[in-house]
Structure 1
Amino acid sequence: MAAQWSSPVRYVECDQQGVVFNAHYLTWADEASNAWWAAHGLPWDALVARRIDPVVKASTLEWTSSARWGDTVTVDAETEKVGRTSVTVRYTVRVGERLCCVVRTTYVATDEGRAIPWPDDVRASLTRD
């Protein structure tokens, strides 16, 4: 199940050449993650209430072109892989139809700092298209 988040590029997100500083792509992926979890019927507060605390295990970024001040970025979030205790989400950042960056983030389900398997109903929600 895909989700989407969009925002104008703010001046503060850019370097002196007007190009977005690389760390902001991770921020945008994090913003889009809220929409992705909710699209799966798993709002963050509901997971935490069940003692399921997804934490970031890893993130990778692959750039194609730069977003710039004045652009509007759109981030498409899609499930890439669901494991026993983890899920990897692909965040595609673009300006219009122009691809800027792909962020892949792997989240691990934890309880009190230890990895736990996804409960069956959560796994079913994560694998639903």
Structure 2
Amino acid sequence: MAFTAVRPLRFGDCDPSGIAYFPSYLNLLVGVMEEFFASIGSPWPVMMGERRISVPTVRLDITFSHPGVHGDVLEFRVDVKRVGGSSLDFLHRITCGGTLLWSAEQRVVATDTDTHRARPWPDDMRAALEQHLETSNV
């Protein structure tokens, strides 16, 4: 079951020619990831503050397919591809009006916020993540 979110591409997200500045895409992606974790019952303030679990990105492979421009409405689709012992693989597809703008494969790892070492997913988070596993071809 994919998670989806919509974000506008604003003036400040673009270079002087009006084309999306790629670091802005990553900032938008972080916000979508924060919203995804909240949707599975693990809002980041609780996860990182109370539960002491962080989810740093350890791999990110991005393919840019089409330029985004100021005023575009970006549609983010987040698919969970794999839940490991402490890792989690996502496939992101970002479109505008049905046109693929960019896609990314991302791996995050659950880490202890204090020691910065990998830790297993807690049972409740693992169960919630596994409910989002994509089993069909995407």
For normalisation by structure 1, the TM-score amounts to 0.90
Note the 1:41-120 alignment, pairs <5 A. 41-48=41-48, 49-111=50-112, 112-120=115-123
Counterpart of 1:5 in structure 2 is 5
Residue equivalent to 1:31: 31
What is the letter of the counterpart of residue 111 of structure 2? Answer: T
Letter in 1 for 2:110: A
1:28-82 per-residue CA deviation (whole Å, 9 max, x = no partner) reads 2111102211222221123221222221212121111111012111111221211
CA distance in 2, matches of 1:113, 1:78: 26
Aligned residue for 1:12, secondary structure, equals: helix
Distance apart, 1:118 and its partner CA: 1.0
Amino acid at match of 2:97: G
Equivalences, count: 129
Q: Which runs of 5+ in 1 are unaligned?
A: none
Q: What percent of counterpart residues are identical?
A: 29
In the alignment, the residues of structure 2 paired with residue 24 and residue 91 of structure 1 have an alpha-carbon distance, to the nearest angstrom, of 15
Q: Is residue 6–residue 72 contact of structure 1 (8 Å, CA) maintained in 2?
A: yes
Q: Per-residue deviation at 1:125? A: 1.2
Shift of 1:83: 0.9
Q: Which residue of 1 aligns with 2:124?
A: 121
Shift of 1:5: 2.1
User: By percentage of residues, which structure has more strand?
Assistant: 1
Q: Normalising by structure 2, what TM-score?
A: 0.84
How far apart are the structure 2 equivalents of 1:90 and 1:25? 15
Shift of 1:105: 2.0
Q: How far apart in 1 are the matches of 2:124 and 2:35?
A: 19
Runs of 4+ with deviation above 3 angstroms = none
CA RMSD of aligned residues (A): 1.5
What secondary structure sits across from 1:117 in the alignment? coil
Paired with 1:61 and 1:127, the residues of 2 have a C-alpha distance of 24
